[in-house]
A and B are shown apart, each in its own frame.
Chain A
């Protein structure tokens, strides 16, 4: 029985140790990357207008405390008004309509490894034969650890 009492005491100690033991926090990165489209040159911004057949230049600034990962651009139609934006102001939308040949663009871009700041500058071509109307421009950005930040912008293609 003595042996068991010793065992009991041992388990007690393990328990207290386990509860009392705290890992130093702050070694892992728990900060989200940041998308900045508030500077003078940034494009598109809320309520920007694209023309069919035009080539536009996407410009945004990305920052992260540790290292940036990659970003994805997504342009899809909002003819059914399913989307809205992360921006405070609203843009005037056309009436709901059925898509015939809506424009769809999904493009991902790698950011060179180890960067904490990156200025995106990409040429995007808007085809001439697509449906005009309300579109949604979605910017997604990750950092190396997999934290993701989204920015949704309402745009118009005429």
Chain B
């Protein structure tokens, strides 16, 4: 049949085009505009087929987020041609393109929202203790960190359940409400990270109030290759050593990708010899912060089939970590610990500690026909988190741990969450419109264990449907509109104490509770992109279903020595946000300003009251969940100036203001509000030589302002300046590159406090000087043969 067709339409020709990045990776989902009207997308291996008449000329424009647009005039000459077009990355190769005088090609994609994309090069260059810490260099991104290996993102000052992390298309669900919990993601396995700032609930449903961190897997390898790379990492501050080994291969249609990551680190060092945990003095031995050592493993395996019109990929990953908590600041009160015992070794993990295992199984399938692209994602996750500590009785718990209790004696808390998710989308093109319709379903089952209680077990069901339309009015103007409806059900389970209180009664801490939630959200956006100027604006409504902790908490938070009480009557949090990006690009400089304004009619926050709890804890200060009106505004600034062809200067700035305008904390800010900061960078990139390629010498000078705008129980934080250096090169021996990156973080060993650090309240300074060395050694076992 195929043969017959080819025969009948002998005059027809076919051109197969491979679209790749600078390093030869296939670029999928790139938009190809043929003769300014017809639009198709490259498939998952970066291919598309142009059918036409022999001798005819077609104009092609290829665009993809994070890359420069590419314009080509192509004449079909023979029946079956093939061609590779490689796209230049937007950030690194502006100049080469400018030389070609295709100035109007430079545009920040066609995304209406504020978007930043970083790739694995950025991650290696700025490698921090966790993926989120690495991303902290970007303006508007901060982290709430605990220790040297765990942190979670803050986008424009909002974090926890107000930021969605997406991994391989599926929303990452852990215990993201806890300030002491990290995000269980392996930064070596990230191919590309896309950060969307703004109201993104229309795409991701509940929680996407501040934005989305979308971690994408690395792209499938080229045909007929078996290759891989070995990463080696070493850090001086916490004696970290680690490796990540990647092996991937592909024949024609089938591919696999495996990775194993291992990291082990000791207690980290802080430039101080004592800290004051709420006025309780704690001496620190030799600058080592006792019991903050840890280890981490990541196992990743994926395999898939890539066809012309469809593809399917299975991903399996298991990320495991174990780390200690700073022993003096955990429990009912600041504790004295046996310093000799803890300080004997800097690499052991004693109590208190945490152990987390996050398992994921994901399938992504896409099918393309005519003007439609259908995408399906199915995921299963299990987040298993345990916190260990010596038994300490509080309230009316028996002084000695009962021998007949089923719960292990050192298991303070356990959370066992299983999540099923499904996403289905259909993207299709209708004239100038690009529609996306879809649905997201999710089910969470969260069990608890341990001899203490904070949050009850729960089950959560959510379902959402959405449609959005991107309308391309002309080459420079794109409009977008979206609407989404969500339904959610939350079922909290009753919890009764295992011990008797004063009146010989076992107290009920949480009652059975079922709540239903509905939400309608929307978004409107514009992207206007004439030659040098670009402008984006977006206004949207987002929402968030109250989490189990906000509805049902009733126990002691061991990190803040506080007693937290939920409110079962909380309404879903709503947020309205307006944000814009205004930019100008010249040959030697570019400027980007992104202001935003955000209003919450009912922000859910944890309010420290004047009261003390008597029955349920140990006389701790009561913190109650409450809702208030909140306004927030601020923005980011990015300025880039190319001084010479080797020297580049960059200024990144951010500012945020937040205030509660109703409720008992009227006039106060929100907790964890980052102070204003400015990052000045100078990068020298010498010319490539035979041996050294892509070399750079880069210095970051970060000036952070003071944060005197605080809310109980925060403390005022003074400003500081920190210097970070990055040096790197690609060594080329026998055509085999070896990527070397060296960093000096906090070069001057400056003693300073980070206002958004988890340990800020106990006046613990940030990590001292850290020299980070990382090597990436790629290898090829079977080489790709061009054509």
Contacts and interface: CB of A to CB of B under 8 A. Distances in A.
Interface of A: 1, 4, 7-8, 11-12, 14-15, 18-19, 21, 23, 25, 27-28, 30, 69-74, 76-77, 81-86, 98-102, 104, 106-108, 138, 140, 142-152
A11 B335 contact: no
Of A4, A15, A102, A150, the most chain B CB neighbours within 10 A belong to A15
A23 B535 contact: no
**Interface centre among B336, B634, B665, B708, by most A CB within 10 Å?**
B336
Nearest to A143: B610
B709 A99 contact: no
Given A14-B580, A70-B611, A138-B333, 14 more contacts: A1-B530, A4-B528, A8-B528, A21-B633, A28-B667, A83-B335, A84-B280, A101-B399, A140-B621, A142-B609, A142-B621, A145-B610, A146-B608, A148-B621
A4 B533 CA distance: 11
B356 interface: no
B614 A147 contact: no
Contact of A146 (B400, B607, B620): B607
Contacts of A14: 580, 595, 597
A70 B610 contact: yes
Nearest to B709: A25
12 contacts: A4-B535, A14-B580, A18-B657, A23-B659, A69-B610, A74-B619, A76-B618, A82-B335, A83-B336, A140-B620, A146-B713, A150-B279
B85 interface: no
Interface in B154-203: none
Q: Which of B400, B535, B621, B716 has the most CB of A within 10 A?
A: B621
Contacts of B280: 84-86, 150, 152
Given A8-B533, A83-B336, A146 B710 contact: no
B621 A74 contact: no
Closest 9 CB pairs of A and B: A69-B610, A15-B595, A146-B608, A72-B612, A84-B336, A108-B612, A146-B712, A72-B619, A106-B619
Given A19-B595, A70-B612, A81 B399 contact: no
Given A4-B477, A4-B535, A11 B582 contact: yes
A148 B580 contact: no
B270 interface: no
A9 to B, nearest CB: 10
A86 B619 contact: no
Most buried by B among A12, A76, A100: A76
Contact of B633 (A4, A18, A85, A99): A18
B279 A86 contact: yes
Contacts of A149: 279
B392 A19 contact: no
Interface in B238-281: 278-281
Contacts of A71: 612
B400 A98 contact: yes
Most buried by A among B614, B712, B716: B712
Interface string B315-340: 00000000000000001011111100
A21 B631 CA distance: 13
A27 B667 contact: yes
A74 to B, nearest CB: 5
Interface in B512-540: 528, 530, 533, 535, 537
B395 interface: yes
Nearest to B278: A150
Contacts of A148: 608, 621, 712-713
B610 A83 contact: no
Contacts of B335: 82-83
A30 B668 CA distance: 9
A14 B609 CA distance: 36
A147 B582 CA distance: 41
A57 B237 CA distance: 51
B399 A77 contact: yes
A143 B608 CA distance: 10
A2 to B, nearest CB: 12
B655 interface: yes
B528 A107 contact: no
A73 B620 CA distance: 10
A139 B526 CA distance: 58
A18 B635 contact: yes
A147 B336 contact: no
A8 B392 contact: no
Contacts of A151: 279
B593 interface: yes
A108 B619 contact: yes
Nearest to A98: B400
Nearest to A149: B279
A76 B620 CA distance: 14
Given A11-B582, A107-B619, A152 B635 contact: no
A146 B595 contact: no
A18 B655 CA distance: 10
A7 to B, nearest CB: 7
Contacts of A85: 280
A137 B608 CA distance: 23
Given A14-B595, A150-B278, A106 B477 contact: no
B712 A147 contact: yes
Nearest to B653: A19
Given A4-B535, A74-B619, A86-B280, A15 B580 contact: yes
Contact of B610 (A21, A27, A146): A146
Given A28-B667, A74-B618, A152-B280, A142 B399 contact: no
Contact of A11 (B396, B535, B618, B657): B535
Nearest to B666: A28
Contacts of B533: 8
A138 B620 CA distance: 11
A14 B596 CA distance: 9
Interface in B66-84: none
A30 B710 contact: yes
Given A138-B333, A140-B612, A73 B535 contact: no
A8 B634 CA distance: 17
A145 B659 contact: no
Contacts of B613: 108
Given A73-B619, A107-B619, A146-B621, A12 B582 contact: yes
Contact of B582 (A8, A70, A82, A144): A8
A82 B635 contact: no
Contacts of A21: 633, 657
A11 B537 contact: yes
B611 A142 contact: yes
Contacts of A83: 333, 335-336
A28 B665 CA distance: 9
Contacts of A146: 607-610, 621, 623, 712-713
B668 A28 contact: yes
B257 to A, nearest CB: 43
Nearest to A88: B281
A77 B392 CA distance: 11
A16 to B, nearest CB: 8
A66 B535 CA distance: 48
B610 A15 contact: no
A143 B612 CA distance: 11
B395 A106 contact: yes
B677 to A, nearest CB: 14
Contacts of A140: 612, 619-621
A62 to B, nearest CB: 12
Given A4-B477, A4-B528, A108 B614 contact: yes
A23 B620 CA distance: 33
Given A11-B582, A148-B713, A142 B612 contact: yes
Nearest to B712: A146
Given A83-B333, A83-B335, A19 B634 contact: yes
Nearest to B562: A148
A5 to B, nearest CB: 9
Contact of A99 (B400, B597, B611, B623): B400
Contacts of A8: 528, 533, 535, 582
